[in-house]
Structure 1
Amino acid sequence: MCATRGNSVHAVTRSTLRQQIAGALRDEVLAGRLRPGQEFTVKEIAEQYGVSATPVREALVDLSAQGLLDSVQHRGFRVHEFSVTDYRAMVEARGLIADAMFSGLGHHAPADPGRYLAVRRRGEECARAASAGDLNVLIGYDLRFWQELCALFGNPYLSDFAYRLRLQSWVCSVPYLRRHGDLRGRLWTGHGALIDALTQQRHAEAQAIIAAYNADSLALIEELAGPAVR
């Protein structure tokens, strides 16, 4: 019994460490400290965090499965390089998810306004960060906002896919956004309006808000990327 318990504790500890490393590296990519195309090895990351190679390798495999890293044979890993074309496809996919959530799955949306309170508070934090042009704060709150909002519709598979797509969208757009400098007035602050529409069961309005947001986001990234991508 003792041996089994010890193995279980070791497995949990390693799993937690794996998640912590994956989260830390994901934050490094989102912050722009790990740049698109940058390569590194398992050994380098293990030495950086002072841990063994096994949880690092597992964390890197997890991030590869999320589409954030590429495995480079005999060399390690590389931060995936997304293009504006990729971003266009992501925005299209985000629109399809919104259509599914707010129309086809609309009957799964909670009618009780109280169910939206936590998501609304998260949205308020997003709007404040966006208004201030604080990208670092915005990304964290935004990911949680959409994850919690999608979860209210009761389909965990849709929620997981939407989160992964949201994460990839940020990773793709961050290099362009960080070149801009002052982002005040350029980032979306419509989280509250979206929650208002959903709370009042105005799903068509919610779809329109998301469609306008996606169009503005794509236009901004295309603008920042320059005419060569059009």
Structure 2
Amino acid sequence: MTHPTTTPGLPTLGGRRSSYRERVADALRAALIAGELRTGEVYSAPALAARFGVSATPVREALLDLAKEGLVDAVPNKGFRVTAVSERQLDEYTHIRALIEIPTTVQLARTADPVALAGLRPVAEEIVTAAVAGDLIAYVEADLRFHLGLLALAGNEHLVEVVRDLRRRARLYGLTALVEQGRLQASAEEHLELLDALLARDERAVHAVMTRHLGHVRGLWAAPQPEQRPAPHA
């Protein structure tokens, strides 16, 4: 997998504009999710800066932000170690997301502007395109834009930020395995299925698709690779 030479920026959501530091942090998260930054490995800010083609200062600042999120730990005089996510943490994050996202999305079947919903279709199609190409970073970025853009239609900015934080903490382990198994496209196409159900005002279908989709997040995306699983307790 080639490493990006520029930091990908996410489009604004609800007027939110990313700073350069935030864009660097987004690029690092994407590299972590795609498996380019490995759990347990220690990375220095200068080395990552050279890898991403940026200066060391925003990388160091972005790593400090990721440390606050629990994604990396500072290692004195060496850099930052990518932290592992336990099975229990993944279960808790997914449970909270289900409590927030399923009822909120079902409500959107009654309240969301059809034009605004239709405006998310190009993003949903980007997700499918990225899945077909096996482009994990593009997939993750489009998936984030879709889900946060959809939740933003509920008009609660704090809710959007809570889900953004949960997604960052949970990460999306297992994407590479999904590509190899040919299952990533099916998960991607659920975004289009969800939009169709929302536009049809079919609350039952929306509930079913969201429940299934979040089940994939936990059962498929979030499943750690064998070398990433925490060692069993004696």
TM-score (norm 1): 0.74
- Tell me, yes or no, if structure 1 residue 153 matches structure 2 residue 157: no
Distance 1:166 1:73 in 2: 28
Q: Deviations over 1:124-167 (max 9, x none)?
A: 22233335554333212111111111111110111111122223
Change beyond 3 A, Cα 1:109–1:61: farther
- Tell me, yes or no, if structure 1 residue 51 matches structure 2 residue 90: no
More helix per residue:
1
Change beyond 3 A, Cα 1:221–1:193: closer
> What is aligned with 1:162?
163
> What is aligned with 2:206?
206
Distance 1:62 1:223 in 2: 24
Distance 2:29 2:201 in 1: 35
- Tell me, yes or no, if structure 1 residue 23 matches structure 2 residue 26: yes
Equivalent pair of 1:83/1:172 in contact (CA under 8 Å): no
Greater CA radius of gyration, 1 or 2?
Answer: 1
Equivalent pair of 2:134/2:179 in contact (CA under 8 Å): no
TM-score (norm 2): 0.73
Distance 1:165 1:96 in 2: 12
Percent identity for Structure 1 against Structure 2: 31
Aligned partner of residue 190 in structure 1, secondary structure = helix
Equivalent pair of 2:98/2:214 in contact (CA under 8 Å): yes
Equivalent pair of 2:117/2:199 in contact (CA under 8 Å): yes
Unaligned runs of 5+ in 2: 1-17
Change beyond 3 A, Cα 1:17–1:142: closer
Equivalent pair of 1:109/1:152 in contact (CA under 8 Å): no
* CA apart distance, 1:113: 0.8
- RMSD of Structure 2 on Structure 1 (CA): 3.2
Matches within 5 A, 1:1-230: 16-46=19-49, 49=53, 51-53=55-57, 55-102=58-105, 106=107, 110-131=111-132, 133-169=134-170, 171-173=171-173, 176-179=174-177, 182-186=180-184, 187-188=186-187, 189-220=189-220, 225=225
Aligned partner of residue 77 in structure 1, secondary structure = strand
> What is aligned with 2:4?
none
Equivalent pair of 2:73/2:81 in contact (CA under 8 Å): yes
Change beyond 3 A, Cα 1:70–1:25: same
Distance 1:56 1:222 in 2: 26
Equivalent pair of 2:74/2:81 in contact (CA under 8 Å): yes
Change beyond 3 A, Cα 1:131–1:97: farther
Unaligned runs of 5+ in 1: 1-14
Further displaced range: 28-37 or 129-138? 129-138
* CA apart distance, 1:116: 0.9
